[in-house]
Amino acid sequence: MPSGFVETERELRLLATHGGMSRHAPCLLLALCVAVGCEDAEDAGTPPSLDALELDATDVVAGSPSTLRGTLDFTDPDGDVTEAELTLSEPSGARSTVATPIVGVDGRTEATVTLQVTVLAPTAGTYEVTAVLLDAQGNVSESASASFDAE
């Protein structure tokens, strides 16, 4: 089975909780993320701040699709976050990236976004997921990362 991002569903969703919001190479990473959109700022605005990425990856088995759950915590003074970009780094150093639109945020300046990611880890080892957020003005947040082990 090939590794890399596979979009088996065109809909990638981010799910916001607590009052706000929230490409193909090795390892299958399918982000099913649902959130809450975005108004354009009048100027270049302020980049969002990705405060934390946490993953609960208790049962990742090499060679089998596995579901990771977690959260993204962020703030954005402009309330115009539009997209999350997730990069999966394999133990070999190979990387895969997937961009996930975030809709319905409507001026939210902070949020915890629930994240669900399906991964096909081709080999056992430690994997890293790195996330950045993009806003309507093209500003990019600093990255946040979390690791998980595939056995």
Question: ∠ CA(68), CA(101), CA(64), 5° rounding?
Answer: 25
What is the residue extent of each domain of the chain?
15-150
Rounded Cα distance between 83 and 133, Å, is 6
CATH number of 15-150: 2.60.40.2550
What pLDDT, on a 0 to 100 scale, did the predictor assign at position 110? 93
Across the 151 residues of the chain, what is the mean pLDDT of every consecutive 10-residue run?
39 36 35 40 80 88 91 92 93 92 80 85 95 94 95 92
What pLDDT, on a 0 to 100 scale, did the predictor assign at position 5? 40
What pLDDT, on a 0 to 100 scale, did the predictor assign at position 143? 97
Rounded Cα distance between 15 and 29, Å, is 17
